């Protein structure tokens, strides 16, 4: 997997060893470290991958949750706010519900979702009748959810539940989503 991400150039061999050691072979952790190093400018991809800093200058978090939290914290505020908001909705979320929960023009909302996809936090999935998105991994959702302050989280839960009650989703989908949100509210109380 590291060869796919970093290539086979000898210059990245020490980094491969470091990542393999830190991640103990966990593919999600490897991918997240790679993404973080790209975002931080430590790795530059211009055909081949090149390291811009000495390895001993790298500070790699020791858990995948820590690296996800760090990546989320570095997002521009509009992306971070939206990622946290959709984390309250759940691992899977539909564009019409998101549109009702956030107060943004549709075009801006879709652009921000596209940016979150490029950063590999979420993926777009085909769905009957509208757009559906999914977090890349449940740990990604949890890191975003846990970064929301408790008061804001409660307010978001209320807003999401209110929108779900007034939505045109099927009864089973609505019940499932409201149940999940109620469980999340109870867990944060």
CATH code of the domain containing 161: 1.10.10.10
Residue 34 has pLDDT above 60, yes or no: yes
51 in the same domain as 97: no
Count up the domains in the chain and report the number. 2
- ∠142-156-130 over CA atoms, to 5°? 80
Contact 67, 26 (CB under 8 A): no
Q: What is the pLDDT of residue 171?
A: 53
Same-domain pairing of 23 and 46: yes
Which comes out higher in pLDDT, residue 79 or 128? 79
Same domain? 11 vs 100: no
- On whether both 56 and 79 belong to a single domain, the answer is no
Residue 70 included in any domain: no
Task: Specify whether the CB–CB gap between 138 and 91 falls below 8 A.
Answer: yes
Domain that residue 94 falls in: 75-188
CA distances from 89 to 14, 55, 59, 66, 155 (A): 41, 39, 32, 22, 12
Return the residue matching tokens 């999401």. Answer: 160
pTM to 2 decimal places: 0.78
Q: Answer whether residue 54 is part of any domain.
A: yes
**pLDDT higher than 70, residue 170:** no
The model's confidence at residue 45, banded by pLDDT at 50, 70 and 90, is confident
The predicted model gives 106-111 an average pLDDT of 94
**Cα-based distances in Å from 33 to 65, 80, 111, 165, 184:** 11, 19, 25, 39, 28
With respect to residue 68, please indicate whether it lies within any of the assigned structural domains.
Answer: no
């Amino acid at each position: 997997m590291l060869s796919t991400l970093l290539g086979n150039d000898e210059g990245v061999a020490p980094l491969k060893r470091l990542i393999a050691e830190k991640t103990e072979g966990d593919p999600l952790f490897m991918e997240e470290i790679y993404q973080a190093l790209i975002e931080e400018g430590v790795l530059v991809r211009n055909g081949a991958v090149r390291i811009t800093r000495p390895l001993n200058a790298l500070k790699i978090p020791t858990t995948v949750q820590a690296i996800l939290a760090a990546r989320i914290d570095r997002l521009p505020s509009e992306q971070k706010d939206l990622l946290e908001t959709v984390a309250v909705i759940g691992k899977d979320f539909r564009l019409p519900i998101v549109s009702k929960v956030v107060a943004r023009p549709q075009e801006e909302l879709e652009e921000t979702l596209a940016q979150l996809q490029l950063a590999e936090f979420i993926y777009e999935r085909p769905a009957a009748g509208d757009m559906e998105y999914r977090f890349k991994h449940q740990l990604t959702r949890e890191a975003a959810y846990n970064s929301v302050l408790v008061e804001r989280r409660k307010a978001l839960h209320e807003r999401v539940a209110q929108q779900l009650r007034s939505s045109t989703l099927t009864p089973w989908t609505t019940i499932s989503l409201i149940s999940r949100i109620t469980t999340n509210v109870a867990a944060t109380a």
